[in-house]
Amino acid sequence: MVAMQKILVAYDGSDPAKRAFEIGLDLAEKYNAVLTVLSVATPPDPPELVDAKAVLENAKEYYDKQFNKLRSQAKDQPVKVDFAVKVGHPAEQIIRFAGDNAVDLIVMGHRGRSMVVSWLLGSISKRVLSYAPCGVYIVR
């Protein structure tokens, strides 16, 4: 059996991200792994005009509401679920978080909330798949 202790779900509130959470929760239960849900706030450009601390605080408030829904969904599961919010480019933050926390698997949606953002930044899932230090499960 594969040893999987830490699973990371990249979460932006989109339908594919919601499905990724459900799959991550199921896998975490199956492998008795810790599940971490990570959301990444992207600061507006130009970055020098933005207070990253304010962006992080606003993002935490927004995602806490989202996370409460996920907490409710996971409450009856025998899985430890942690939540985190970072600020920066989503792919970079997901990859960094996975490396810094010895994540065994990243579960994420194929497309997030905005096709325009994907077009401008490039596919986040493609970048994560290319550079992640662990396995990546892409949900469509």
Number of folded domains that form the chain: 1
Helix (H) or strand (E) holding 64: helix 52-74
Reported as a single tens digit per residue, the pLDDT across 21-52 is 999 999 999 999 999 999 998 876 665 666 66
The pLDDT assigned to 52 comes to 65
CA dihedral 59, 60, 66, 67 (to 10 degrees): 150
Q: What is the pLDDT of residue 121?
A: 43
Where in the sequence is the domain holding 49, given as residue range(s)? 6-139
All residue ranges of the chain with pLDDT < 70 are 1-2, 44-52, 111-122
| Any domain includes 1 | no
Helices 90-100 & 124-131 angle (0-180, nearest 10): 30
Nearest-5° angle of CA 5, CA 7, CA 8? 150
Cβ atoms 10, 17 nearer than 8 A: yes
Give the pTM.
0.87
Cα–Cα distance, 140 to 132 (Å, whole number): 19
Question: Would residue 105 count as lying in a domain?
Answer: yes
CATH number, domain containing residue 12: 3.40.50.620
